[in-house]
Amino acid sequence: MFKLEIIRDTPLGKKNNEDTSVSEAIFSTYLEYKTDILLHWNDLTLCLSRRGDISEIYSDVVDVLIELEKRTESFFMAFLSSSFTAYWDFKITDSDLVIVSAKWIDVVYLDKEKSNIKKSTMTISISDFTEQWNSILKIIKKDLVFLGYNDKLDGFGFLKNLN
């Protein structure tokens, strides 16, 4: 099972007119580094924050979603953020299934007893995986637009096309 779950609202900041990218704007938009998203991966639950993690891995997530949309047979992504450092290897097995093999390098687990788990694999529907990330990105888009950000930001094109 792969699921992204928003567990709390995060106070919004204000637009920083010096922000040039979506990543910078996400960092400015959310005021707290506290866990506000749980990433459920089979029997593991990892803690993420919009400000500290999503802002840093935004471009990587978009790259993964684009590769899956193109149905690139095999690719990998290295995520590096304040509490989410991981390497994911993707292998598409049929039209809507992908095997994702994860190497957990430095992550924050909700259940500290599972922190000895360093590798895990799952098979997931590409459409389900994509929808989980898109649901988070739609909320981020809404918050960015609310604060006055727009498609002048580097990387906003992906968000602009989310419906």
Buried b (16+ CB within 10 A) or exposed e, 28-45: bbbeeeebbbbbebeebb
Give a yes or no: residue 72 inside a domain. yes
> Which of the two residues, 163 and 86, has the higher pLDDT score?
86
Give a yes or no: residue 161 inside a domain. no
The arithmetic mean of pLDDT across residues 97-123, rounded, is 87
Quick check: pTM over 0.85? yes
Give a yes or no: residue 163 inside a domain. no
Whether the predicted pLDDT of 55 surpasses 90: yes
Residue 27 phi/psi, 5° resolution?
Answer: -60, -45
The domain total for the chain is: 1
Query: How long is the chain?
Result: 163
The arithmetic mean of pLDDT across residues 9-28, rounded, is 96
Give a yes or no: residue 162 inside a domain. no
Beta carbons of 82 and 108 less than 8 angstroms apart: no
Question: Domain of 98?
Answer: 2-154
